[in-house]
Amino acid sequence: MDDDRHIEEAFALAERGRGSAHPNPLVGAVLVQGGEVVGRGWHLGPGEPHAEAMALAEAGGRAAGATLYCTLEPCSHYGQTPPCADALVAAGIRRAVVALGDPNPLVDGRGLARLREAGIEVELLNERWRARARKQNAPFLKYVAGGLPLVTYKAAVTLDGKVAAAGGDACWISCLDSRRAVHQLRATVDAVMVGAGTLRRDDPELTVRLSEGRDPVRVIVTHRGELPLGAKVLATARETRTIVLAERADGAARRILEARGAELIEVGESGLRAGLAALAERGLLDILCEGGPTLAGALLAEGLLDRVLLFVAPLIVGRGAPDLFAAPAVGAVADAWRLHDVEWRPVCDDLLLSGSLTKDGG
């Protein structure tokens, strides 16, 4: 069907904004007139033209009578750019095919209503496409629903569920292609997060090196804000934005972090949930956790993990090595955390497992 072909292209266009559109959603738009694509657009980021506006600019007068294919409901409010719904009405489009309504309270059906009021035929696509749109914009949708970012835990793990050898050595569990894939992923997320233990043990840079792309914001989770003075993330905090989440920090720790160029956020006893909310308020909606078992276990236990990406390597290291999650064990299999929408794919000798995480099989 032509509708499927054109909305598929709109989804592909939306992906061009990944890594730059935040905190705005990814949106792609295609304008079709007489079976010919006359305009294409995608949103690159705050202050940049919206996807629909870009498509209209390319189409010019050929937008009159055209059909719009869009991955998300056109906006209906003034922000940094004018309302797209009004622009579409003014251009005289005949039909709008939309994958998903925008739950943002500033939109939430008003964009579609504006089109219908102008006599434009509006069609919302079926659940298959809605699910595709929800997956594409999962970080934005989670933030709109509850003020928290989407958190993905990434780890390299052995066949027996260990993330390092008994002595702490983890170089390298995964193969080179897997490590390249991680750097590609870093280039698309808003922030990479680790705990202070990982920082002390591995001294990671948390930058993009084995792939092209911009560096994500680096987030370090610690109790008191005390970090190794020689840590690479502190040495480069003025070049690559670095945030330290701490329950509390004394004056000395604060002065050291500020002198290095890192931003300190104190969250008190509210802990990880408050810290994640603070990151979301700063526009960091897509968080990749590369921390060790302690941080991963805390996120899991508090219900703050949304996705899991595991590079499973064909290695066995044996008893006594650190486990994937340092979380309290459940008493019965029925009470376990369960992944859904599970996918497996080979990466050199590894297998990459991805899935969404809920409890009770949800």
Residues with active-site annotation: 52
User: Could you tell me how many residues make up the chain?
Assistant: 362
What are phi and psi for residue 210, nearest 5 degrees?
A: -90, 15
Q: Chain centroid to CA 221: how far?
A: 19
DSSP letters for 239-281? TS-EEEEES---HHHHHHHHHHTPEEEE-GGGHHHHHHHHHHH
CA atoms within 13 A on the CB side of 313: 20
Question: And the tokens for 179?
Answer: 């490590």
What are phi and psi for residue 135, nearest 5 degrees?
A: -65, -40
Please say whether the beta carbons of 357 and 312 come within 8 A. no
How far, in Å, CA of 276 to CA of 282, rounded? Answer: 10
Sequence-distant (6+) residues with CB within 8 A of 330 are: 336, 337
Please say whether the beta carbons of 287 and 132 come within 8 A. no
Please say whether the beta carbons of 286 and 139 come within 8 A. yes
Helix-helix angle 127-136:2-14, to 10 degrees = 10
